[in-house]
Each structure stands twice: as C-alpha cells, then as structure tokens.
Chain A
Amino acid sequence: MFTLRKAWHPYISPFDPCKPITVKTYSTPPNLYIGFQPPNLPQFSPIEALKAGTLWKAFYDPWYSPYEIVKRGQSQ
C-alpha cells in the first residue's frame, strides 16, 4: 500500500531510561516518487491552491502535529 509516512520499529532495550516509543514514523513526501512532473496532472482550484501551498493535488501532503485536531488531509 502506498503511504506518505513510513514506520519502523527501533530496538527496545529492557533498560531504556525513557518510556520506549515502539513505532517511529517519518515523512516521505510525493516529490520522492514522481520524478519529472508529467503533463496534465489534476489541479486544485485557485482558492484551494492558495490554501494548500501548491496547485497540484499530487504534491499536497500536509503535516499536522500529533496534538492538533486533524481537520483535513491524512492523519499521521
């Protein structure tokens, strides 16, 4: 399955001083996959594009803090 976040499981020691985080995630935004932008990609409307920061839907990948309410876009 294609995702824009990847997860990995760091080694957990029985003697870790802090409460271990069992799953760590990182961002792999769309620019890593698309190569030279192909013609005729779907676009946002001008108003949506201003808000999103890009005209191209394929490149839209917003980041939300884990403490924010996810209003739109994908969750982390």
Chain B
Amino acid sequence: MWVYEKKLQYPVRVGTCNPKLAKFLIEQYGGADGELAAALRYLNQRYTIPDKVIGLLTDIGTEEFAHLEMIATMVYKLTKDATPEQMKAAGLGAHYANHDNALFYENAGGSPFTATYIQAKGDPIADLYEDIAAEEKARATYQWIINMSDDTDLNDSLRFLREREIIHSQRFREAVEILKDEQGKKRVF
C-alpha cells in the first residue's frame, strides 16, 4: 500500500513553452531507461530477491514513481498550450494525431512503452546488475537531455533527478555487496 503526498518530490519550473524539449523528455517517461520502466522493474523484482534487499527495491521503486510524476509535470507544462502547428513543428505531429496534447508512455522516437524493456531473471545478482545498469543509463539520458536544453529552470530539476540516479546506483551496488558477503563471516566495523 502507498500513502500519497500531494506534492512533487522536487519543484518543477518550466521557463518556456517548448514542445521540442517535451519530445526529448518523453524518453524518461516511457523509454527503455525511463522512470516508468525503473519503477515497474524494481517493484516487480522485489518479490523474488533475498529479504535483506527487498526494502531497498521498494523504496527506490516508489521514488521512481515520484520521478515519473515530475517528468509528467515537465512534459505537460512544455506542451499544454502548444498549438497543433507548434506540435507539428516540434516533430510531435504524429503524437498530436493520436493523442492531442495528452501524455503517453512512449519514447522520444514515438515507440510505445513495452514490458520487454524490463527483466526479472530471478537471480539476485543478475537482477541487481540490471538495476545498476538501468540507473547509469538513466543518468546518461539526463546528461544528454540537459545538453540539449537551454531551459535553466528545467535543467535544475533534471540535475536533481540525475543526482538521484547516482544515489540509486550506489545503493544497488551496496545491495550487491550485502548479498555477496560471505555468510557466517565475522565482520568488524
């Protein structure tokens, strides 16, 4: 069960109406390394992971939904008042034809989200290594979007999200350390 807080994890301010940037940002919404893929991946893997790290997957998976909500807010603000002409000029003509200005789980190329983006192998090390890779790929995606964006307000929020990817990767790496730790060995801190 979840408790919903009716606020964003970090404020989202958008400087300009810029549907072109929305087209790039949608990669983090419904792309292979996006926040939806991350949330679904972790919250699904946690059932078959050793109990020492279930809580970590729950926490990070939950936070990914908070990130998803931030990305949704960004995309919404960037496109909400865009005219069909502006959508077309931004390369979102096909999106407009299908969805009007509504958000949709698709990647920057317009391919709809698919469960084949994520995996649950059942092997704890394999699953955690996938999670680490997913965090590093999401971090890189944020870098490339920041590089293409001249919206300083938006970049501030994107930087926050990128920093969270670094922390999540760190925690997954620590989870691997916990699982590979020799059992029964005495540890001295």
Contacts and interface: CB of A to CB of B under 8 A. Distances in A.
B146 interface: yes
Contacts of B177: 35-36
A53 B150 contact: no
Interface in A52-69: 52-54, 56, 59-68
A54 B167 contact: yes
A27 B139 CA distance: 9
Contacts of B59: none
Interface residues of A, number: 25
Given A37-B174, A59-B170, A50 B10 contact: yes
A39 interface: yes
B161 interface: yes
A75 interface: no
A20 interface: no
Interface of A: 27, 29-31, 34-37, 39, 50-54, 56, 59-68
